[in-house]
Amino acid sequence: MDSTLLKVFVAVANHKSISLGANELNFTQSNVTLRIKQLEKKLGYPLFHRVPKGVILTHEGEKLYPYAVEIVQKVEMAILHMKNVTHQELLRIGTSQANATIRLLPFLEQLKYDFPQMEFELYASGTPQVLEKLLDYKVDIAFITGNPNHKDIEILNTFNDDLYVVESQSRKSQNCILGYRELSTHFQYFQNYCKQEGNNTYKTIILENYEVMLGCVKAGMGKAFLSKIIVDKYGYTKDLKLTKLPEKECDLETHLVCRKDYVPMIAEHLKTLRLNH
């Protein structure tokens, strides 16, 4: 069976849409429709029901889906492995937004110096989304906040981000928490901390821009929970009051991780890497 047909099937099933599946694969919609029909003819069963908002799997399509996902992943792994059979030609890196700001550029610069021929692909989002990409074999390594404690994931390296509650030095802060994104590990941790301290009336603001966030903190619009590296990077160290929270069991260090069954060829190098910010 042609794995490309299965890849098209998986993309359409994931998006519940032929047009969105086509966009993901950079195919035309007519090409995707044709390939789905080819797969259905080969199997002898319809795989999708058409509904007003797109398509949904038939009973037969639901049975095929987990096998198709596994086959597509294995084929992609084989292609990547053959590309990297003698040395690491391509490294796909996932990173949370905080880590993209703190250490991604020094990390890339160091690897480019150590491995001049290596190419890179990048994916940045929140830690949960990055972990999902890693588990789906869409990235090779990932910078994430906190220990994933997952049976399929191996920790290659650990970095301390020197986290603080930051607030205005000169103005009284409003009862508001500022965060980069709703699903940020740091943002959710600080929310839980405030609730544990009896503060259940705070408001929240999501900004997706660290420089704007720090400017708002300086203006007294609220507090944030950030790495001192970010505060220093944007030049707000003298304008803000930094408070260290009591150490708790929650692991908020950054971990560089990979899948246990797909360890990059440069893993030993990554384990010894120390970065200057």
Q: Which amino acid is at 157?
A: N
Tokens of 236: 């707000």
Report how far Cα 90 is from the mean position of its chain's Cα atoms: 18
Could you name the CATH architecture of 90-160+253-272? 3-Layer(aba) Sandwich (3.40)
The predicted pLDDT at position 272 comes to: 92
Tokens of 172: 């009284």
- Read off the tokens for 130: 């990055």
| Token output for 90 | 């391509």
Contact (Cβ atoms closer than 8 angstroms) between residue 111 and residue 82: no
241: β partners: 167
Superfamily the domain 163-243 falls into: Periplasmic binding protein-like II (3.40.190.10)
Structure tokens at 225: 């929970």
**Domain boundaries along the sequence of the chain:** 3-70, 90-160+253-272, 163-243
Mean pLDDT for each consecutive 10-residue tract of the chain (277 residues)?
A: 88 94 92 94 93 93 93 79 64 91 91 90 89 91 90 93 93 95 88 93 94 96 94 94 80 90 89 80
Same fold, 90-160+253-272 and 163-243: yes
CATH class of 3-70: mainly alpha
DSSP 128-193: HHHHHHHHTTS-SEEEEES----TTEEEEEEE---EEEEEESSSPPPSEEEES-TT-HHHHHHHHH
Residue 107: the pLDDT is 93
Question: What pTM was computed for the model?
Answer: 0.66
